Amino acid sequence: MRHITVLVLAVAAAGCSSVREAGVLTVSVTEIDGKPAANSNFAVIHPNGKVAWSEVPASGATVSGALHGGDFTILVLTAKGAATQEFTMDGDTKIQVKAGQGGSVRGEARANAKPIAARVWMPIPGKTESPLDRLSHVVRSNADGRFQIDRLPPGKWTLYIGNEGTGYKPVVVKIVEKETTDIGIVETVQ
């Protein structure tokens, strides 16, 4: 089984019992078919929504990053699925994440009431600044402005819809496993 290992570093306050210890986080990711994920985009997110650490490791890679002990959510995007899972980092921690089908969002991008060719992207929260970033999850609309973005992890996410000419409009959506959310027409010009 392929593992992604994250070396976690933290400074614990002396005598503070609520501080959780740092350690090594080992994450095993499997696809929806039960096979080890060949590649995964993932982010470890604080409860406040900020990314503690994110990466697109090579298959079976061992990586390290600065991460304090505490409560987190891991977000995983694989070639076939997506998942989110809450975990507590308190010393050495091992978690297994199984990708699910995820959910979908569909809609239509317009500018000045006319359909446009647009990019639709879901950045990893607190990390990605551009739809070209490797940690984004990007699709393009068709010429009629219609789009569907699949394989989104369950939860509340912000999608950005538009193009270089119109700019990108943020749209907050709630994703439910195995369901498609229709957000209707999105006017990208504000």
Residues 92 and 108 in one domain: no
Residues 110 and 83 in one domain: no
Q: Whole domain around residue 76: which residue ranges?
A: 3-98
Residues 88 and 39 in one domain: yes
Reported confidence tier of residue 44, pLDDT bands at 50, 70, 90: confident
Residues 66 and 150 in one domain: no
Query: Model-level pTM greater than 0.85?
Result: no
SS3 148: strand
Tens-place pLDDT, residues 104-135: 999 999 999 999 999 888 876 656 566 655 55
The count of structural domains within the chain is 2
Q: What is the mean pLDDT of the chain?
A: 78
Tens-place pLDDT, residues 151-180: 888 888 888 899 888 888 999 999 999 999
**pLDDT score of 115:** 95
Please report, for the domain that includes residue 51, its CATH number: 2.60.40.10
Q: List the structure tokens of 154.
A: 């369950």
Q: List the structure tokens of 161.
A: 């819809």
Question: Last residue of some domain: 70, 98, 126?
Answer: 98
Residues 22 and 66 in one domain: yes
Residues 34 and 65 in one domain: yes
Residues 20 and 94 in one domain: yes
DSSP state of 57: P
Reported confidence tier of residue 21, pLDDT bands at 50, 70, 90: confident
Residues 169 and 133 in one domain: yes
**pLDDT score of 113:** 93
Q: List the structure tokens of 32.
A: 């929806």
Sign of CA dihedral 39, 50, 118, 182: positive
Residues 118 and 94 in one domain: no
Tens-place pLDDT, residues 65-92: 556 888 998 888 888 888 889 999 888 8
